[in-house]
Amino acid sequence: MIKDKPHTEIPAHGGRLVNRIIQGAERDRLFSKANDLKKLTLTRRKLCDIEMMAVGAYSPLDGYMGRKDYENVVTSMRLGSGLPWSIPITYRIDRKTAESLREGQDIALVDERQTVLAILHLEEKFEYDKKLAAKAVYRTDSAEHPGVDILYKRGDVLLGGKISVLRLPENREFLPYRLAPAETRAAFKDRGWKTVVGFQTRNPVHRAHEYIQKCALEIVDGLLLHPLIGETKSDDIPADIRMKCYEALLEKYYPKDRVLLSVLPAPMRYAGPREAIHHAIVRKNYGCTHFIVGRDHAGVGSFYGSFDAHHIFDEFAPGELGITPLFFDNTFYCKACGSMASVKTCPHDKNEHVSLSGTKVREMLRAGTLPPTEFSRPEVAKILIEAMRT
């Protein structure tokens, strides 16, 4: 009889899962001095990044990037150490505020109620080239891109340094699903999952998504359905509505012992290919061994090619990222096949494919019309119809 191999966790990116939540006497000491410190108010996006750094989701980062890490990430998708990393994690401020700060200073980071959440141990402040960053990270310098628009509107100076998180942001939604990387890793271990595939989404799951998730489940032990609930565009479907859709779908159409639903409190940057790499690394920190990369991953508008997010993985050596990407082509229901399929498996003409644009689906939902069951599960469509009526 062959015994199962002992459970071994995939290492965090950089080898160690970071934890920047300060406890005990050091926490008390920092709280006591916080009232006398210069204070900076965190935007919603910065609140998201603070939580991600605090719990180790951005391992190996232990704070905001200094100049060396920032410039390396922008130009070569690597930290100063050479470790792959594709998205700058930064704290931008205006020049006037920057002039009032000195390197070596501790700064209290507060929410809109002026509640102290963290201390930034300021190591560097430096200016940066916004257009260079836009072209490198977002592949465009057009302000019509939502990520570039935010980049242009924020400050001209970056602050770099470690953070000490004293408390996580308040009013955090979906607490039962808000699992830190250490907690998802423990859940995988308890379930005996040696291989886990992560799925990134900021939209309700439709039949094409369901199809590729279940294809992936054929080759791994478990699925981490990991919707992003941080800051998104104003026209994206709100997170609370999406969560109801996920719950309804999992209740009826997925094996309960092979799926874990947890939320990702990160902001959406819409950086397409670069964000696909970022999403994969983050899921590695949550304990995933595999990551689904679909068509136009993290894309917006027509800024990226349909499979640019697949091709960018070729820029890293095999195994270098430490997580296995699973690439999926455009999927749909084919009436001639009588099943879900993709362009790789279906020989039939597009006229046989049930394919609806996002605009058409929204029109149907607003009119109270259920999309075809080949496109969306009725339980999900009904939740979306009800949400549009309120």
Task: Give the span between the Cα atoms of 198 and 190, in whole angstroms.
Answer: 17
List b or e across 68-95, with b for residues whose CB sees 16 or more CB atoms inside 10 angstroms. Answer: ebbbbbbeebebeeebbbbbbbbbbbee
Q: What is the dihedral of CA 54, 57, 62, 64, to 10 degrees?
A: -90
pLDDT of residue 148: 97
pLDDT of residue 234: 83
Does 5 score more than 60 pLDDT? Answer: no
Task: Give the span between the Cα atoms of 337 and 143, in whole angstroms.
Answer: 43
Same fold, 24-165 and 175-264+270-389: no
Give the CATH number of domain 24-165: 3.10.400.10
Angle formed at CA 101 by CA 95 and CA 104, multiple of 5 degrees: 135
β-bridge partners, 292: 326
Reported as a single tens digit per residue, the pLDDT across 120-129 is: 999 999 999 9
Of residues 353, 218, 236, 235, the one with CA closest to residue 292: 218
Q: What is the dihedral of CA 265, 298, 154, 81, to 10 degrees?
A: 80
Instruction: Please count the other Cβ atoms lying within 10 Å of the Cβ belonging to residue 326.
Output: 17
Task: Give the type of residue at 33.
Answer: K
Q: What is the mean pLDDT of residues 289-316?
A: 96
Task: Give the span between the Cα atoms of 191 and 272, in whole angstroms.
Answer: 33
Q: What is the mean pLDDT of residues 180-188?
A: 98
**Residue carrying the six token digits 């799925």:** 199
91 in helix, strand or coil? strand
Task: Give the span between the Cα atoms of 200 and 276, in whole angstroms.
Answer: 9
Does 275 score more than 50 pLDDT? Answer: yes
String of DSSP letters for 154-195: S-SEEEEEEEEESSPPSS-S-GGG---HHHHHHHHHHHT-S-
CATH architecture of the region 175-264+270-389: 3-Layer(aba) Sandwich (3.40)
Task: Give the span between the Cα atoms of 92 and 130, in whole angstroms.
Answer: 11
pLDDT of residue 99: 97
Q: Where are the beta strands (DSSP E) in the chain?
A: 38-41, 63-64, 91-93, 106-110, 116-127, 157-165, 196-201, 222-227, 259-261, 290-293, 324-327, 331-334, 339-342, 353-354
Asked if 380 and 204 count as a contact pair (C-beta separation under 8 A), the reply is yes
Q: Residue ranges per domain, the chain?
A: 24-165, 175-264+270-389
Q: What is the mean pLDDT of residues 41-47?
A: 95
Reported as a single tens digit per residue, the pLDDT across 192-238 is: 999 999 999 999 999 999 999 999 999 999 999 999 999 988 888 99
Asked if 306 and 295 count as a contact pair (C-beta separation under 8 A), the reply is yes
Reported as a single tens digit per residue, the pLDDT across 161-170 is: 999 999 999 8
Task: Give the span between the Cα atoms of 210 and 328, in whole angstroms.
Answer: 12
Lowest mean pLDDT segment, chosen from 88-102, 121-135, 304-318, 363-377: 363-377
Of residues 194, 221, 191, the one with CA closest to residue 9: 194
Asked if 277 and 51 count as a contact pair (C-beta separation under 8 A), the reply is no
Reported as a single tens digit per residue, the pLDDT across 76-118 is: 999 999 999 999 999 999 999 999 999 999 999 999 999 999 9
pTM of the model: 0.95
Q: What is the dihedral of CA 180, 186, 192, 196, to 10 degrees?
A: 20
Asked if 247 and 227 count as a contact pair (C-beta separation under 8 A), the reply is no
Residues with catalytic function: 202-203
Q: What is the mean pLDDT of residues 27-50?
A: 96
